[in-house]
Amino acid sequence: MKRLFKTVAGAAVGVALATTGMVATAQAAGEKYILVSHAPDSDSWWNTIKNGIALAGEQMGVEVEYRNPPTGDLADMARIIEQAAASNPNGIITTLADFDVLSGPIRAAVDQGINVIIMNSGTPEQTREVGALMFVGQPEYDAGYAAGLRAKGDGIESFVCVNHVISNTVVAERCRGFADGLGIDLGSSMIDSGQDPSEIKNRVLAYLSANPDTDAVLTLGPTSADPTILALEENGMAGDIYFGTFDLGDNIVKGIKSGVIQWGIDQQPFLQAYLPVVILTNYDRYGVLPGNNINSGPGFVTIDALEKVEEFAGEYR
């Protein structure tokens, strides 16, 4: 299945790159696309998203803009989507981190006649419900399930999932999928860590102290992975406890290289930002649209596959 995901994403990139040669003759004046994410300013993982839309804008010859709620407040994000729609761009690319909070503004943008693509957070089903064109991202439950199967094959029977975005119910599917892959109930194995690094570290230390027989730690991105690395270094478990994580970042890459982290799951955020700009531009110009949603991940990154990741970590990976 992983090979299929890579093939689909790779084919989409090939199509995208092939179209860039037509920009000079096809570009219309004032083409603008706005990407709205749920990420707070403090989450460096989204730098890759910013680089993705910037490169796509440059290659396609269109104006692109990245907007987000500085603190990650979803009500603020809903207002940002409304403001983006009011500026009447050619298209909006947005995450669907909370369906109840964000579906209304997204539907309103679609009803206004703005083409919308959902990326990163959400599901294909939710994408159809709000009237968006398609979803570009990682099927979170499937990714978690694949990770659980891998961990089960490595002898893991229990774990703690460090969830720093508990309000994002779709992301929590990573934890549920992991538990199902192991063949156990999620139960109390998922902790709400919050996003403060010191608090995350303390909650991981407290959980492992209260549950010393825990076989593995699963984190959901650099925000939770980086403080967890510090926690394991403090309690002496770094390199001894099985550690898997979603997403990549400088410290995660270093952790994989040193053997503290067994693997990272790459959802390829670059593609999640790059492809929607290319797709929307070609849809506006030529009326062409891929017939299916695009799975940008999952892909496992281990110590054996770090060369390109190290080269572009935090930039395009």
Q: Which amino acid is at 107?
A: R
Cβ-contact 217, 240 below 8 angstroms: no
Residue 308 has pLDDT above 60, yes or no: yes
Q: What's residue 27's pLDDT?
A: 52
Which of 203, 205, 196 is closest to 236 using CA atoms?
205
**Angle formed at CA 104 by CA 99 and CA 106, multiple of 5 degrees:** 85
Domain spanning 140-266: CATH 3.40.50.2300: yes
Structure tokens at 304: 């054996």
Cβ-contact 119, 272 below 8 angstroms: yes
Cβ-contact 271, 93 below 8 angstroms: no
Per-domain residue ranges for the chain? 2-138+268-297, 140-266
| Distances, alpha carbon 44 to alpha carbons 111, 222, 248, 304, 313, in Å | 33, 8, 10, 25, 11
Helix and strand totals (H; E) in the chain: 13, 12
- If you count them, how many residues does the chain have? 317
Parallel, antiparallel or unpaired: strands 299-301 and 294-295: unpaired
Which of 37, 35, 169, 33 is closest to 95 using CA atoms?
37
pLDDT interval class at 6 (50, 70, 90): very low
Cβ-contact 229, 251 below 8 angstroms: yes
Residue 148 has pLDDT above 60, yes or no: yes
Q: Which amino acid is at 197?
A: P
Tell the CATH topology of 2-138+268-297.
Rossmann fold (3.40.50)
Cβ-contact 203, 148 below 8 angstroms: no
Cβ within 8 Å of residue 107, ≥6 positions away: 130, 131
Residue 199 has pLDDT above 60, yes or no: yes
The kind and range of the H/E element at 111 are: helix 99-111
Q: What's residue 1's pLDDT?
A: 40
The three-state secondary structure class of 61 is coil
Question: Cα separation of 280 and 282, whole Å?
Answer: 5
Structure tokens at 267: 């959802």
pLDDT interval class at 29 (50, 70, 90): low
Parallel, antiparallel or unpaired: strands 299-301 and 263-266: antiparallel
Q: What is the pLDDT of residues 110-138, one digit of tens each?
A: 999 999 999 999 999 999 999 999 999 99
Question: Cα separation of 26 and 111, whole Å?
Answer: 27
Cβ-contact 60, 119 below 8 angstroms: no
**Least confidently predicted of 18-22, 94-98, 131-135:** 18-22
Q: What is the pLDDT of residues 217-269, one digit of tens each?
A: 999 999 999 999 999 999 999 999 999 999 988 899 999 999 999 999 999 99
> Do the first three CATH levels of 2-138+268-297 and 140-266 match, i.e. the same topology?
yes
Tokens 């009011």 -> residue: 86
Structure tokens at 274: 């790059």
pLDDT interval class at 168 (50, 70, 90): confident
Q: Which amino acid is at 249?
A: G
HSE of 19 in the Cβ direction (CA atoms, 13 Å)?
Answer: 25
Cβ-contact 308, 15 below 8 angstroms: no
Q: What's residue 314's pLDDT?
A: 76
Question: Cα separation of 247 and 263, whole Å?
Answer: 10
